Amino acid sequence: MPGINNNWKYGLAWSPKLETGYAEIDNQHKNLFKLTSDLIESCGSGNKISIDETLNFLVDYTVRHFADEEQIAIKYNYPQREEHKKMHDDFKNTVGGFVKKYEKDGDSEALFSAVSKVIARWLVNHINGEDSKIARNIREVNAKKS
């Protein structure tokens, strides 16, 4: 993705090992890594406005990304798309819980910990596990069309 640095300050470096082979989704994943890194950095600064803006943008972007990914799963008739959607829904609920807790407590340290430990780990595991299965399904469907 032009203009995106692949090595961010808080260790969320994008790796080619995380690429699914589907450029649109890979670019969105890179952007999710960047947004998560930005949120961690904002939490470290303690700047409430910056944290709020970054957190809201990350939540909005994640919802759009999941919707895009789910449309791709439908388009390519991914057999486990309902389970995949449930994982997305569970993650949105987890992030929503962080948002509510942060809004209530305003504790950037707790948010920092949650983002760095839970969100970043979930993204890597989800990309390596589930999203790579979708990519494999896409390749299989495309191979049958050839």
Does residue 7 fall inside a structural domain?
A: no
Q: Name residues whose C-beta falls within 8 Å of residue 29's C-beta, 6 or more positions apart in sequence.
A: 14, 18, 20, 65, 123, 127, 131
pLDDT at 70: 92
> How would residue 7 be classed by pLDDT, with cut points 50, 70 and 90?
very low
Does residue 3 fall inside a structural domain?
A: no
How far apart CA 58 and CA 60 sit, in angstroms, is: 6
pLDDT, average across residues 126-132: 88
Amino acid at 40: I
Does residue 4 fall inside a structural domain?
A: no
pLDDT at 5: 41
CA R_g for the chain: 16
How far apart CA 56 and CA 35 sit, in angstroms, is: 10
Does residue 12 fall inside a structural domain?
A: no
* Mean pLDDT comparison of 27-41, 106-120, 125-139, highest-scoring range: 125-139
Task: Please tell me whether the overall predicted TM-score, pTM, comes out greater than 0.85 for this model.
Answer: no
What DSSP string describes 63-76? HHHHHHHHHHHHHT
- The CA dihedral of 146, 70, 59, 116, to the nearest 10 degrees, is -70
pLDDT tens digits, one per residue of 77-96: 999 999 999 999 998 888 88
How far apart CA 27 and CA 125 sit, in angstroms, is: 17
The CATH number assigned to the domain holding 28 equals 1.20.120.50
Q: Name residues whose C-beta falls within 8 Å of residue 32's C-beta, 6 or more positions apart in sequence.
A: 58, 61, 62, 65, 123
pLDDT, average across residues 61-86: 91
pLDDT at 12: 67
pLDDT tens digits, one per residue of 112-126: 888 878 888 888 888
Does residue 93 fall inside a structural domain?
A: yes
For residue 2, pLDDT over 60 is answered with no
pLDDT at 16: 84
Number of structural domains in the chain? 1
Q: Is 100 left (phi over 0), alpha (psi -120 to 50) or beta?
A: alpha
